[in-house]
A and B are shown apart, each in its own frame.
Chain A
């Protein structure tokens, strides 16, 4: 217990670390120094910039869609324009924002720091991943500029392969290439976690964020190639006329759906597992308490990752799949919900006997738990075959996955952003504005998507440009909510950018957290640690019984705090 840090110490500004040049200084400020960097921290930031751009592109697309839906007969878009906008929203949000969002930014930045490594296993491959992502983004942008694609994000055959007049080739090529970027990042993270943990950082001492990124990487590496192959088959069919899914030659369009969902259901876990990791970090830190059921949380992550591979058929209950297959997939879908429920209970129980404070990351994280619970429970509806038959392909499903993907993953992204911002930039943002944005985001989200649940139950199909007037009230409510949500997303852009130039200097460990990353200066030096730290304790050794009292870092960092 000699390393336990006393209450007063960590708040101090870290003048003592001035001798250590931060990663932002080392290597220089030139554009070239960023474009040729192999520093995982800088690459994380490169990713952050790229995905922020795509987040707003896809956001604008859906903003136009929501505006159009204010009227049941449409306002200013043609059918084709409408279809292209929602397809653009889906494709870009899924593959150019959500999949890379937390892993490629915070995962890149913090995985090596949290396990006590100087970098990821293959730093040059890491930079290459980013360039491959840019290449994919180029294809996607070309598809958008050259007229867009109208298949939805699911690329269902034979529409995508034989009938669509959109730019399917460029879009599919973009997603195909983006897959290689994901796989390279996944291989890198897996190898890093296996091979470069600091001495004493055993598997059962890893912070849950590391576990989550690790499990996500395994899912990425095993699922993404299937997507790549199914898109390649579409490209072969469209470009060379090779009939793979063409029913006129005896091909089976449903086979494509199996291949697609074999990737795209695990992809949901690619998007949500890192979010769960973030929430675990934030909850323990702001409740000053060891995470409830640490081992169980790990098993839950692994359980979700493994079972998640065997539930893809629940997207196809009405596709003409055999009834017995439906039953198996339904059962497995209920099973995969168990570990998710356990995680919610464990987060809640972590608050018990804690010493809770409500800084911005915690507010975002609590929003996550609420929205994730609501999204997860409606997942049970969809796992029940008869319910799914009615509400699939309606707004009910749209609401469900937005609660998970946006209410869940995006809230967690913001929690992570606010939690680690002082570490990444060395600056403090305005706490009041950040909390305000978190609350607005929560309210805006619910007013956007709660009406969609009801509208889905009453039978409003998704991807409808014009619709019967009885659904208009819900659409108007939802669009108003979207406006609030848009405002909430713009706020962090403003106050975080402001903090970069005018924010107070952040101390090394403003939240007094136990992770190794917090024991380095803010921002961290170029190679993270002068000497690889030794780890001799579990993560999350907070001691709430002494109010805001001492805590025990996972290891002592030389030249750090």
Chain B
């Protein structure tokens, strides 16, 4: 069974259990219909003697009612089970290790939290929650990790998330599951799960890189962001300290939580959500910054919040 469809998390094991219960139930239904059809076909085939008078109205109504109600209830039960299963693991736990993923035709670019970059490979530790924060530079891709029974589309101009808590080290498949053009079937890679000690040994052995926030800070000044978004600036622009993760009051009365998506949109679509009390004067950086750079900027802005409340 192991080589058949490897599983690397307890979620995957529970998933398999659910799946095979459904397979069993379905097989019973198929077998029942099949047996009924074969039985009737033999018993009532033309030319043999059998009772053939009409069934009573009451009988057929009762039968009709009971299988309608029975099917509806059975389906609702499966729905209930599936929905509960889905919702239980919906919210990622606090303190998950965050790995950024960028899909582009036809490769996966990975940024580990410590700044290590990978192509078409995700290294992740087992035994602790890991969250993938994903976006695309061009078309829609889809991150598919069959060993975890997980999949999530990766969209341009938006962040999507996937989280898991794996428990079995090994090398597994990583696929792009949404058709994305010519080399779609080559947009695959290795998903490497390691014990925490192996993982830290592996990341220490990678070529040295600044962590994301540090790289973001450098970009923040080289792109000229700091020209406006600093306390000493003469241009009225919001101060970014302590913004991340907190609600922001917008000029049209709405209020929004400043998360990755909000920071992302504020950089490339500054018109969209104007902070209350500020004029819409920020130019769009669409086309001037790459998704990778935005990830670094977001990491920097995030660090401005965590510094204050360690």
Contact = CB atoms under 8 A, between A and B. Distances in A.
A79 B185 contact: yes
Interface stretch (A58-66, A270-278, A335-343, A417-425): A335-343
A547 interface: yes
Interface stretch (A115-123, A202-210, A218-226, A351-359): A351-359
B205 interface: no
A338 B71 contact: yes
Contact of A390 (B30, B82, B140, B151): B151
A330 interface: yes
Size bracket of the B interface: 35 or more
Given A150-B181, A327-B83, A374-B30, A547 B156 contact: no
| Interface-centre pick from A293, A318, A344, A547 (highest chain B CB count, 10 A) | A318
Given A159-B140, A296-B64, A348-B37, A318 B151 contact: yes
Contacts of A293: 60, 64
A79 B186 CA distance: 9
Contacts of B146: 390, 458-459
Interface in B48-64: 50-55, 60, 63-64
Contacts of B47: 547
B152 interface: yes
Contacts of A287: 44
B182 A389 contact: no
Interface string B166-188: 00000001011111111111101
B287 A248 contact: yes
Contacts of A353: 44, 50-55
Interface stretch (B72-80, B121-129, B226-234): B72-80
B93 to A, nearest CB: 17
B142 A351 contact: no
B75 A351 contact: no
Contact of A158 (B147, B156, B185, B269): B156
Contacts of B64: 292-293, 296, 342, 346
A334 B22 CA distance: 14
A444 to B, nearest CB: 19
B52 A544 contact: yes
Nearest to A293: B64
Interface stretch (A17-25, A34-42, A465-473): A465-473
A45 interface: no
Contacts of B19: 381, 387, 457
B199 interface: no
A223 B91 CA distance: 36
Contacts of B186: 79, 466
A320 B153 CA distance: 7
B22 A356 contact: no
Interface of B: 3-5, 15, 18-19, 22, 26, 29-30, 33-34, 36-37, 40-41, 44-47, 50-55, 60, 63-64, 67-68, 71-72, 75-76, 78-79, 81-83, 85-87, 90, 105, 138-140, 142, 144, 146-147, 149-153, 155-158, 160, 173, 175-186, 188, 268-269, 272, 286-287
Given A79-B183, A386-B18, 20 more contacts: A158-B156, A162-B139, A247-B157, A254-B155, A292-B64, A319-B153, A348-B40, A357-B46, A358-B41, A369-B33, A370-B33, A370-B34, A378-B26, A381-B19, A390-B15, A457-B5, A464-B175, A544-B44, A544-B52, A547-B47
Task: Pick the 6 closest A-B CB pairs, nearest first.
Answer: A459-B146, A247-B157, A384-B82, A351-B40, A464-B185, A377-B26
24 contacts: A162-B139, A247-B158, A253-B140, A320-B152, A334-B78, A335-B75, A337-B71, A341-B67, A345-B71, A348-B33, A348-B37, A353-B52, A355-B44, A370-B30, A373-B29, A383-B82, A384-B81, A390-B149, A393-B151, A393-B177, A457-B19, A459-B175, A461-B177, A544-B44
